[in-house]
Amino acid sequence: MRFSEGSLGRFFVCRLNYESDLLDSIRRFADEKGVKVAVFFVLGAVKKARFSFYDQEEKRYLEHEIDEPMEVLSCIGNISKMKEETIVHGHIVLSNRKGRSYGGHLRNGTIVFSAELFIMELEGTVLEREYDEVTGLNLFKL
């Protein structure tokens, strides 16, 4: 196991705008506030969602789009950098009106109905991503 040690920095509590893009809102907020490394979680509801599943054999994402109102049961993730770009990596679990759940790797196109976002900044650590040949993913450079 590789690791980096830091400490908690600033803490933000946010209410996301109606019909905003969930992933994009987090990235923009991090850029506005100069947050380079953080963890976050979200509760709320969405009007529709886009998420994906990583096929480990094919090394590519399979996309899913569900165009109906759903609860955000859980959405957790982290914020890091790849070159100068802010990378928001989130996973989301949703449920529809029948209580059926879906989930995966959060994508742009997940549209907020209402959402409560908590961001906890991590200080004293640098999280850069780099391409990993074994998995085909951009992983932490530790």
Q: Give the binding site for Zn ion (CB under 5 A).
A: 105
Query: Least Å distance between CB 13 and Zn ion?
Result: 24
Query: Least Å distance between CB 18 and Zn ion?
Result: 26
Residue nearest to Zn ion (CB): 105
List the one residue out of 45, 16, 39 whose CA is nearest residue 127. 39
Antiparallel, parallel or unpaired: β 129-131 and 38-55: unpaired
Hey, which bits of 34-96 come out as E strands? 38-55, 60-66, 70-82, 85-95
Query: Least Å distance between CB 138 and Zn ion?
Result: 10
**Polymer length in residues for the chain:** 142
- What the block records as the tokens of 96 is 């529809």
Nearer to Zn ion, 64 or 69 (CB): 64
Nearer to Zn ion, 69 or 103 (CB): 103
Nearer to Zn ion, 50 or 105 (CB): 105
Query: Least Å distance between CB 7 and Zn ion?
Result: 25
Nearer to Zn ion, 44 or 90 (CB): 90
All residues at 6 or more sequence positions from 66 whose CB lies less than 8 Å from its CB, including other chains: 48, 49, 94, 96, 102
